[in-house]
Structure 1
């Protein structure tokens, strides 16, 4: 959600900002803008609603400078409009501000301090920049006015502020929203995501909550809001520009679906030793072994991966496990066991409602692990342990390779924990071999794109609704499959436990209603097949995605056999492609579905 880029000390700040904003498009946005200053008395503000291309087309050749800030906005306060887009300008035209997050007491501050000041937008951000300007007019310098304002704010923020009187300085602050400092040779920068600056530098400095940073082209000064200096080393981010480019693919989502087989190999390489045995941090395993219950906390697609994970941990490590929605857990914490251990699943490592839970359980003294794709992210840094997904950047809003990477990572972790606990099922579960089979099988399914495309056309070309069913882990896959279809093709899709159909949902079945049935579990295969037949008997169009061992002549998509615990790694591939082709054929922007953001950094 939203994205910030800022730079000081580059000869062509305009291009750095525009290219950085393009790299942040995946986060979701509805408007964009830049402010550029040449530090010689000339500055420029350009804002546009819609895509970055609209902004680029509006930036004329004279918009040049050596410092500036840019922003992609995802509307929270106020509708998408140029007036509501960032950067925001104070009414005395001295300060420019970009902001990610939500200031929950903005209206109260407006009513208390800004009576008589005409606001140009509906945003909480403008209230902040007007406060900074107000305190500066009362005699404070820019830094002190900014710090005073920050101390008054409730909510979440990542800010970058420019004072036109001192265009050799950028002021930066963060609380609960992600922000990194990029350290360059003769320049410094700021961004919501390292991806925005990776073509400029691979050296980054992480920021903590309630820190204020003063950036010049040659210096990075970090301090607390109380004014205490903070020293922090830079770290290296390794990203390949090729990984964040579509290449010959029409959309990132298709590219990322195709990358899933190699991600399986990366995970095996990352978490096995020279003898091919699973190797996980011994301190992490010791902490998990002490736990009497695992709490897997996640959101969206990651939550669905967590549901599969709870089955893996209970079967292989013989420890009770429960998956929870972070947005529910944060406000309605259940009664916890005596020795809980928390696992946070997150692709971006910046999900706001997950972080809320992490902050709460840390305050209670409970141990935690973040499983994420971004090692430099807030959740990775703040948890006691981290386990990386090694999936490479995922740009499309609809997650694909992060989902399968999370399941594979959970399988490796459950295997290692089970071995430490001497669980026989763990010793018998050859996860390295199974993930190798999964990689090969995923590739085989990916190569059936034409067949799956045809099924997408037959089932979903004109429908307004669809159903997915399964039992056990197949039910968990049905939840993820329905989410993929609804979020990028806007078809009202629902996943159901197959055994629950007759308890109400079957009333929704009409002639030609699309239904996808997942059948991989030997114990319940016959029951799910019977449920699918009941739906077909009522006129529905039924597509069965079935493992080879359970397949019958009428089944349309047959996936290779694998341990049932890992069947979701395969059965989800056709479902991802069904969603992709449905959206593609309807002419939608597959990577950037309406109203959605990749990184959900506000609750």
Structure 2
């Protein structure tokens, strides 16, 4: 893995491929390369490092072609070297392939091919594919037959794109890894994600697992593994190309933090009745969830924290709910029945662990629901139902606006569950809904008044950073720590405030600032924990809506949030913590949008 791009029918294929790779940089990678077809054959350039290294190599030694494929790699098999970078070719150099995913039987295939005289240049699993195609061509197969037969030998997950011999076509397929087709006027694009080609076209075809596609200058065709045509609808993307650019901001992450008032308005729009305070989900009319007896929420990283938030909300409202890391769901094997609803929370809709968890839940008879940001993603096809968070494209690896939109969408779902399952339409729910309606404005207030930069400057030389909270503030503390560590590379940990005296307090020193989150729930107990760490010399930054009260009196610094319902306060508190993480990373001159070793979309387990 991590990013595929391809184009055919364009006037400037090299420029289009390089631009597509630039727009996929947010996915995380360690090397990049392109291969283009011209009269002399296939011209190939690939380099370790950033796409800029590849661009420089192409500028020094220009290549051209009428169509081609490109790739940003995140190493899974073999070290980070030019030889291991994609695209990979056969021995003749007439076949080039790019691949996302993992081919689990590559070693046996490689041994078989080597026994037949094939010589390999890399340590990757991907290189078996062009050699398999070459072998099939030698046996008299057409390029399409050779590609299909090679894919038929593969086990594992993959999105593949290939150029073969003199055929003026791009051959591609997917199984467990995303691939989308962009349809322009006489030009066609393939990519792992829409931003790679959004500046060229807003018309897309989402491919399903098992789909094969052949794109030519004259058009494209989608078939199944047996060669039978399949109908995949053409859809329109509502993103303006500007949304996939920085728009004057220094980093995508900072832009996306500042986009949250707008993304939250989209999440809420049409789903809240301002007069009644009730929830109106077009996707789920009243009574949809009346037979649900328990809820499991699966997700990884930020999505897991959003799931923890929702599970706590549901439990408070009398509905049994549990949050699981998707990657542990198969290990824990929680009991499910036909009255269990399993909610998959995933920004991309392609997270491998979460897809696996959903498949296991469905196999056990559970009902499933996808909560995602991406129309047509794999998770929407795997689940019985879907609810889009409508956050818009998120390019920065560190999730920001998608977390706040995930939590908000889950709060709306929670209210629908409560109405359907318990029949309870309490005044408390009305207060929550009113606070949600004010949320975009409250977030804008935080963005306009935050002193997060000053806090980051004050504590930039600390040894570690701790984040604490109770109830719904606990997942917010975990998310605050995650944001801090993933973009600043500094050690940060989140804890339930009640956990401090059971171990973590041993780590507290004057060089470990503690961020304490106060939401109006059990604030007195959290204040007691704050005093505990201060007694050990640790400075405390309080996140609170009362900058003049007792909490602020005892805190060393305060990050203020608007007064709101305790169930909603965690969202605005999280915005302050996102800003602290961003400014801390900027002070340290970290690559904020592309933190090392991380990828935006994790499509392998």
Residue 472 (1) aligns with residue 471 (2):
yes
Q: What's 1:131 paired with? A: 132
Does the residue aligned with 2:289 lie in a helix, a strand or coil?
Answer: helix
Cα–Cα, structure 1 residues 103 and 270, in superposed 2: closer, same or farther, change >3 Å?
farther
Where do residues 4-23 of structure 1 align in structure 2 (5 Å cutoff)?
Answer: 4-23=4-23
Cα–Cα, structure 1 residues 17 and 550, in superposed 2: closer, same or farther, change >3 Å?
farther
Does the residue aligned with 1:330 lie in a helix, a strand or coil?
Answer: helix
Q: What's 1:597 paired with? A: 599
TM-score, normalised to structure 2, is: 0.94
TM-fit CA distance, 1:368: 1.5
Cα–Cα, structure 1 residues 162 and 480, in superposed 2: closer, same or farther, change >3 Å?
same
8 Å Cα contact 1:474-1:521 kept in structure 2: no
Does the residue aligned with 1:567 lie in a helix, a strand or coil?
Answer: helix
CA–CA separation in structure 2 for the residues paired with 1:58 and 1:211: 34
Q: What's 2:249 paired with? A: 249
TM-fit CA distance, 1:516: 1.1
Q: What's 2:509 paired with? A: 510
Where do residues 352-391 of structure 1 align in structure 2 (5 Å cutoff)?
Answer: 352-391=352-391
Structure 1 stretch displaced more, 229-238 or 492-501: 229-238
Q: Deviations over 1:200-242 (max 9, x none)?
A: 1222122121222222122322222233332322111221112
8 Å Cα contact 1:99-1:160 kept in structure 2: yes
CA–CA separation in structure 2 for the residues paired with 1:366 and 1:176: 21
Does the residue aligned with 2:86 lie in a helix, a strand or coil?
Answer: coil
Q: What is the count of residue pairs matched by the alignment? A: 597
Does the residue aligned with 1:125 lie in a helix, a strand or coil?
Answer: coil
TM-fit CA distance, 1:117: 2.5
Q: What's 1:542 paired with? A: 540
8 Å Cα contact 1:84-1:123 kept in structure 2: yes
> What 5-or-longer segments of structure 2 have no aligned partner?
none
CA–CA separation in structure 2 for the residues paired with 1:428 and 1:466: 35
Where do residues 167-566 of structure 1 align in structure 2 (5 Å cutoff)?
Answer: 168-272=168-272, 277-281=278-282, 283=284, 286-316=287-317, 318-421=318-421, 422-425=423-426, 428-449=429-450, 451-459=451-459, 461-522=460-521, 524-548=522-546, 551-555=551-555, 556-566=558-568
8 Å Cα contact 1:210-1:224 kept in structure 2: yes
CA–CA separation in structure 1 for the residues paired with 2:105 and 2:247: 45
TM-fit CA distance, 1:285: 5.3
Where do residues 70-149 of structure 1 align in structure 2 (5 Å cutoff)?
Answer: 70-115=70-115, 116-149=117-150
TM-score, normalised to structure 1, is: 0.95
8 Å Cα contact 1:415-1:426 kept in structure 2: no
Structure 1 stretch displaced more, 134-143 or 301-310: 134-143
Q: What's 2:165 paired with? A: 164
8 Å Cα contact 1:90-1:130 kept in structure 2: yes
Does the residue aligned with 2:386 lie in a helix, a strand or coil?
Answer: strand
Residue 47 (1) aligns with residue 78 (2):
no
8 Å Cα contact 1:441-1:560 kept in structure 2: yes
Residue 576 (1) aligns with residue 563 (2):
no
TM-fit CA distance, 1:427: 7.1
CA–CA separation in structure 2 for the residues paired with 1:550 and 1:259: 33
Q: Deviations over 1:124-174 (max 9, x none)?
A: 0112221221222222222222212212211100000111221x1111011
TM-fit CA distance, 1:314: 3.1
8 Å Cα contact 2:338-2:367 kept in structure 1: no
TM-fit CA distance, 1:431: 4.3
Q: Deviations over 1:475-521 (max 9, x none)?
A: 11111011011101111111111111111111112232221111223
8 Å Cα contact 1:100-1:159 kept in structure 2: yes
8 Å Cα contact 2:463-2:512 kept in structure 1: no
Structure 1 stretch displaced more, 269-278 or 496-505: 269-278
CA–CA separation in structure 1 for the residues paired with 2:13 and 2:270: 38
Q: Aligned Cα RMSD in Å? A: 2.0
> What 5-or-longer segments of structure 1 have no aligned partner?
none
8 Å Cα contact 1:100-1:177 kept in structure 2: yes
Structure 1 stretch displaced more, 222-231 or 10-19: 222-231
TM-fit CA distance, 1:329: 0.6
Cα–Cα, structure 1 residues 183 and 81, in superposed 2: closer, same or farther, change >3 Å?
same
Does the residue aligned with 2:227 lie in a helix, a strand or coil?
Answer: coil
CA–CA separation in structure 2 for the residues paired with 1:244 and 1:206: 19
8 Å Cα contact 1:31-1:85 kept in structure 2: yes
CA–CA separation in structure 2 for the residues paired with 1:121 and 1:113: 14
Does the residue aligned with 1:576 lie in a helix, a strand or coil?
Answer: helix
